[in-house]
Structure 1
Amino acid sequence: MKTNSLDYPPEADSWMSDVQSMLELARVLITDAIIELQSRRQHQDDALLFDRLGLNRERILRSFSYLEEVGIILNLTERSFDPFRQYPVNPFALILAIRESERGRPGLEFGVMHPEARDTNLRTQAKWAIGTVKKNIERFENQSEDTDFIAFLGKRYAPVGAKNDPEGLNQNWVKNVRYWYDAFLYCEE
């Protein structure tokens, strides 16, 4: 009776083991190369995003305390603000500046105290902050008394003397937001 199996010489097992090891090594090297290419692509995409939104990429990467949140924050901001429209401020730099200035714990990331936003999550806090900025840009553009948008926004976002600010921290809000706004805004030297 004939069998369909092949008889391999004893040294074939060693050779097959070597081939399997080389294939495994090749798989690992290819996987590493793919990860490196994806990382470079993400790096290029991030650079293009920062440039397109008028942001200082290097300063944000060096100074922004919540780098893991940048993508979410900018994505949500981009849904509300056209990056090609003219605003009295760069809304993307402003939202990052507010986040950095507020330094809120989870559920209060942007310091939004409204009951529907308080103790929620980053997305909800960001959406409320973005909505507040957007509404106040419209108000700012429809008035002629104030010429400094960040100060205008500060009167509403973090009013000095507010009952929910017993330590008087709101008095520093405009100064802090302006500092981080200037830091995160791209400008040619």
Structure 2
Amino acid sequence: MHETGNGTSNAIKTKNNVGGMMTKKGLMTFGSVDEGIDKMASNLKRLYFDQGLTTIEQIQKKYAPVGASNDPTGLNKNWVNGVTKYYKSLGG
């Protein structure tokens, strides 16, 4: 929800990409929303949960670190609060 503007971004609307997942060539495209969800869940499990990163704060340090070179406008500083808001809205 955070990565796609609560489902309003081009990534979800035209590419079924629920997580804003990228390759070096740009946004990944999936055949369906279900496929996009499966890929994002698989990615989250493999690259984060399986490595012991199980809280929003732990994941942020790897996924969206504050001060990262690919975050020139400093949006990563809002990542934990944004994701936490959506997580709580879903009953987390």
Q: Same fold (TM over 0.5)?
A: yes
Residue matched to 2:68: 162
Residue matched to 1:175: 81
Deviation at 1:132, TM superposition (A): 2.7
Q: 1:183 to 1:129 in 2, by over 3 A?
A: same
Aligned residues: 81
Equivalent of 2:49 in 132, 137, 145:
137
Q: 1:114 to 1:128 in 2, by over 3 A?
A: farther
Deviation at 1:164, TM superposition (A): 2.6
**Aligned equivalents of 1:125 and 1:163: distance in 2?**
27
Q: Which amino acid aligns with 1:101?
A: H
Deviation at 1:157, TM superposition (A): 2.2
Deviation string, structure 1 residues 4-54 (Cα, Å, up to 9, x no partner): xxxxxxxxxxxxxxxxxxxxxxxxxxxxxxxxxxxxxxxxxxxxxxxxxxx
Q: 1:117 to 1:185 in 2, by over 3 A?
A: farther
Q: Secondary structure at the match of 1:160?
A: coil
- 2:10 maps to 1:105: yes
Residue matched to 1:152: 58
Q: Greater helix percent: which structure?
A: 1
Deviation at 1:130, TM superposition (A): 1.2
RMSD: 2.8
Q: 1:117 to 1:131 in 2, by over 3 A?
A: farther
TM-score relative to the length of structure 1 = 0.35
The structure having more radius of gyration, on CA atoms, is: 1
TM-score relative to the length of structure 2 = 0.64
Residue matched to 2:24: 115
Q: Secondary structure at the match of 1:132?
A: helix
Instruction: State the identity %.
Output: 30
Q: Greater strand percent: which structure?
A: 2
Deviation string, structure 1 residues 144-179 (Cα, Å, up to 9, x no partner): xxxx61111112222222333222111111111111
Q: Is the 8 A contact 1:109 1:125 kept in 2?
A: yes
